[in-house]
Structure formats: C-alpha cells, structure tokens
Chains A and B, each alone.
Chain A
Amino acid sequence: MFLASIAACKDTTPEGQDDWISGDTGSHDTVVGGNSYRYYHSYWYPIYNNMISPSTYAGSTDNDIARPGYTPAHGGGVETGGFGSSAHGGEGGGE
C-alpha cells in the first residue's frame, strides 16, 4: 500500500508545477484567433517564447479557446514560489 501511494505522489508532482516549461513530449500546438496554445495534461496553455506555464495560467478547454476574444486567465491571481527559497543544493528541510 505504501509503495502504491509513493507512485501516486510522484504522479502529482508533474513538470507542470515549475514556472515555465516546454510541456509534454508529444504535446501539440495550435493557433486560434492569432493566439498560440500548447496542449498539456488535457488543457491548453498560451505559448510564450515556446514555453508554457501551467502554474501561472489556468488551463483552457477546446471550447474556451474557440470563443472569439477569449483571453487565457491567470490562475485566479495565484502566485507561486513564495516558499522553498531557503533550501538549496539539494538540501531538504528535514533533520
């Protein structure tokens, strides 16, 4: 049971929680209304400098991006990265 939960934990810490990423291997891009989007973990994200940021933007559905005038929303004004800066060089927080 413990090992199963470990696998589950790893699944919940995808690359998408970094700030800016390239996205999944095999992801595909599209352009709708002049805006570029990349498909990642079942949602579309705006592309900037060939990167996406699932931690900054809420993911959009097919219907969302098809709406005329649609603007991808920031994740509810959510800011990340405010904890964790004291750990460096692979050092953990435990002792």
Chain B
Amino acid sequence: MKRIDIVPRKDLDRKLEEVGFLYHKNYYTETAAYEFTAGEVDKIDIATAQLFDMCCKVMNEVIEKKLFKEFFIPDRYVELIKTSWLEDFCSFYGRMDLYVNEDCSEIKLLEFNADTPTSLLEASVVQWYWLQEFNAHYDQFNSIHEKLLAHIGVCKPYLPGNKLWFTSVAGSLEDFMTVSYIKDLADQNGIQTQFIDINAIGLNSEGRFCGLVNNKYEVIENIFKLYPYEWMFHEKFGNALDARTTWIEPLYKSIWSNKMLLVMLYKMFPNSPYLLPAYYGAANGLSSFVKKPVLGREGSNVQIISNGSILQETGGEYGEEGYVYQEYRELPSFNGNRPVVGSWLIGGETAGMGIKETTSHIHDNMSTFCPHYFK
C-alpha cells in the first residue's frame, strides 16, 4: 500500500456534485490516492469474507446462548432480533473498518459499521469516476454499485407491496444523499419508493408505522433507515417496533454494530489473524489499548493508551453502557496521514473498499476520503 500525491481533476466540484456528492467540502480533496497491488487487494477481500463468516457465527452464538444482555439489548427486542436473523431478513450493506499495515501483511478488524454505514457514494461511484480520468488501465477494488443494484433486485420479492420507504435525519446532507443513492438503485429495480424524514414517521391507532402520501397517511410496510437501532430502541416509538414492518437494515444489525461484537469475536476466535484482543470493562493486562464506548459513534469518547500513557482521547456523550478495551495497533503513517480501510459487504458478499485518512490517531467525522487503485 502506497500513498501517491495526485493532482485534483479540473472542475472538480462540478464533477463531484453531478454524481450527487454534495457533501465533499473539506472531506474529499483529491490530492492523494492509495495504490495497491492485486495481491494486497486479495488479502483484504479474503480477510473481509472471513471476518463476516465469524460475525455470522457470533450471531448464532448470541441466539443459542441468549447473550443479548451482554450487548445491552432491551428484552423486548430479543425475539425481533432472533426472527430477523433466523428468517434472513433483507440486508443491503455494511462496512468493516480495517487496520491494514503498509504491505498488507497484517489486517485487523477495528469495528463493523453494520447498521448505518455512510461513505457509500464516494466508495461506489465517486472514486470510480476518478479512476476513469486518472488512469482507466488501472483497476479498483470496487463493484459496490453493481452488487448493490443487483442485490436490491434480489430483495425485491421480499418487500410486501413492492414499495420501499427511505428515511434519515432531517438536516444531515450526507445521510440524505446516502439514502437518496440507495433509493435511486431501488427505483432502477422497479420498486416504488418514497422518502420521509425520520421525525415525520407516524404511528397510527393500530400501532402501524405510516407516512404522508398525497396528504393521506399510508402504512409503511418496508423501510430503509439510516438511523441506528441503539437510538430507536430508546425513543418513544421504539416500543412499537414489531415484525409487521420490514426494517432495512434488519434488527440483528444491532448486534454487529455494537462494540461488544469485538469482544465476542475475540472470545470465539482468539487465534484469528484478523482480530485484536478485546475485552469488556477492563484492559486485562494490555499495555496499549483503545478504550471505546460499547455504543459509541464517530470516534467519540475514545481513549488511546500507548504503553501506559494517554496518546489521545476524545470527548462526547457516550459510555453509559461501559467500554470495550481493544489492543492498540498504530495505524501506518504516510507523511503523517493515517489510513483506515473501509471494506464493504453487499448482501453478505465482499464488494470493494473506500479509504479514509486522518492526521490524528483516532478516525472521526473529520477524516477525509481518498480514492484508490490497484495494478
């Protein structure tokens, strides 16, 4: 893996915004790209597939041994989560954030953004268009768009009424554009679609979720949400979640997006080359570790301890459920820029990657996206 200085394309803003990438300011500068070999990409691909297989085994273990309390799942959602997994409810996507060293000889799972991943459009569309102008003879680990388009078609028969609603937080442009991109792929599959702000979702007297269409409320049979379950579970309508509405991502993603997944993975697969030791509640003798809130987001409330000293820490409002302690592995540095590889899964299949870098040790919502290629 190399970091290459590149020259931004002419008329870059227009080109980005033409493909719907409206939130690129201070996030995508196109001054650097990451270069890989085909062999290195294969390693990331294989690691992602094996990690996903392990995540599936964790899910089975959680159900068989009734481990939901370890994930701080309220009792009332247990049966819904079980049903969503055992009946294989529709899932579109997920992104594993990976530590990858310079020669890709070490690949480690940092976390699994299984429930509400963003940076989708830039990984699937934006960097692909960049490559066509940069050097169309090079290749890219990226079939995200094609696989997502095809997979939504596979899910189509399982959407009662052939209508899929989409929702995100009002005022978040990145979320809205991510949802709009997926909505567009559903449109292309001949699925009727409708957008609704998350706070405009209604609950009728029969306990069904509904939304306004032509000024009348219509029951929501299927909905894709870019809104985390750990928030929904504790909000007013959380108690109304039931199996009558198909939620995408499915409820079992509340297990995989939970940092306790890292603990459970390491417990079940301590010899995996793709896992770092991780524990709940204490560092268990680790001298260098990252302390992460069980239900933390966007790098908030994270503390890095390196050889007993605080290397970096961030503030925030998470941590009520306690912390996971994961062995610290310093990200590779390219002139001070530290990349994390976001490896995408579409319908459970590996599909490509997007790279974010930061000059800090902790990746947060200020990290920048860089395109990549391999040759």
Interface residues of A (CB under 8 A from B): 1-3, 5-6, 9, 12-13, 16-17, 41-43, 54-55, 58-59, 75-87, 90-95
Q: A41-B215, A79-B202, A95-B113 provided; 15 other pairs, C-beta below 8 A?
A: A5-B184, A5-B187, A6-B20, A9-B180, A13-B170, A43-B215, A55-B200, A78-B205, A82-B236, A82-B237, A83-B236, A84-B197, A87-B172, A93-B175, A95-B365
Q: Does B298 contact A (CB under 8 A)?
A: yes
Question: Which B residue's beta carbon lies closest to that of A79?
Answer: B203
Query: Does A94 contact B181, Cβ atoms closer than 8 Å?
Result: no
Identify which of B52-60, B136-144, B188-196, B265-273 touches chain A.
Answer: B188-196
Query: Does A1 contact B184, Cβ atoms closer than 8 Å?
Result: yes
A92 to B226, CA, bound (A): 8
29 contacts between A and B (CB under 8 A): A1-B188, A2-B184, A3-B18, A5-B187, A6-B177, A6-B184, A12-B195, A13-B200, A55-B212, A59-B215, A78-B217, A79-B202, A80-B200, A80-B201, A83-B199, A83-B201, A83-B232, A84-B197, A84-B198, A84-B199, A84-B201, A84-B235, A85-B236, A86-B235, A92-B169, A93-B226, A94-B116, A94-B174, A94-B175
Query: Does B172 contact A94, Cβ atoms closer than 8 Å?
Result: yes
A5 to B20, CA, bound (A): 10
A87 to B19, CA, bound (A): 27
Question: Which A residue's beta carbon lies closest to that of B176?
Answer: A9
Q: Does B306 contact A (CB under 8 A)?
A: no
Interface residues of B (CB under 8 A from A): 18-20, 113, 116-118, 166, 168-172, 174-181, 183-184, 187-188, 194-205, 210, 212, 215-217, 225-228, 231-232, 234-238, 240, 297-298, 365
Point out the residue from A13, A42, A58, A90 that lies within 8 Å of B196, measured CB to CB.
A13
Task: Kindly list chain A residues whose C-beta atoms are within 8 Å of the C-beta of B365.
Answer: 95
Query: Does A58 contact B113, Cβ atoms closer than 8 Å?
Result: no
A78 to B184, CA, bound (A): 28
Task: Kindly list chain B residues whose C-beta atoms are within 8 Å of the C-beta of A75.
Answer: 202, 212, 216-217
Q: Separation in Å of the A21 CB from the closest CB of chain B?
A: 12
Task: Kindly list chain A residues whose C-beta atoms are within 8 Å of the C-beta of B178.
Answer: 94
Query: Does A84 contact B169, Cβ atoms closer than 8 Å?
Result: yes
Task: Kindly list chain A residues whose C-beta atoms are within 8 Å of the C-beta of B20.
Answer: 2-3, 6
Query: Does A54 contact B212, Cβ atoms closer than 8 Å?
Result: yes
Question: Which B residue's beta carbon lies closest to that of A12?
Answer: B195
Given contacts A55-B202, A82-B237, A93 and B231 within 8 Å (CB-CB):
yes
A43 to B212, CA, bound (A): 13
Task: Kindly list chain B residues whose C-beta atoms are within 8 Å of the C-beta of A59.
Answer: 215-216
Question: Which A residue's beta carbon lies closest to that of B233?
Answer: A86
Task: Kindly list chain A residues whose C-beta atoms are within 8 Å of the C-beta of B195.
Answer: 9, 12-13
Question: Which A residue's beta carbon lies closest to that of B177?
Answer: A6
Query: Does B226 contact A94, Cβ atoms closer than 8 Å?
Result: yes
Task: Kindly list chain B residues whose C-beta atoms are within 8 Å of the C-beta of A83.
Answer: 198-199, 201, 227, 232, 235-238
Query: Does B199 contact A2, Cβ atoms closer than 8 Å?
Result: no
Query: Does B118 contact A2, Cβ atoms closer than 8 Å?
Result: no
Query: Does A87 contact B202, Cβ atoms closer than 8 Å?
Result: no
Given contacts A77-B204, A79-B203, A95 and B198 within 8 Å (CB-CB):
no
Task: Kindly list chain B residues whose C-beta atoms are within 8 Å of the C-beta of A5.
Answer: 180, 183-184, 187
- Interface pairs A-B: 9 shortest CB-CB: A92-B172, A82-B237, A84-B199, A94-B118, A77-B205, A86-B231, A92-B175, A93-B227, A17-B200
Query: Does B204 contact A78, Cβ atoms closer than 8 Å?
Result: yes
A81 to B199, CA, bound (A): 5
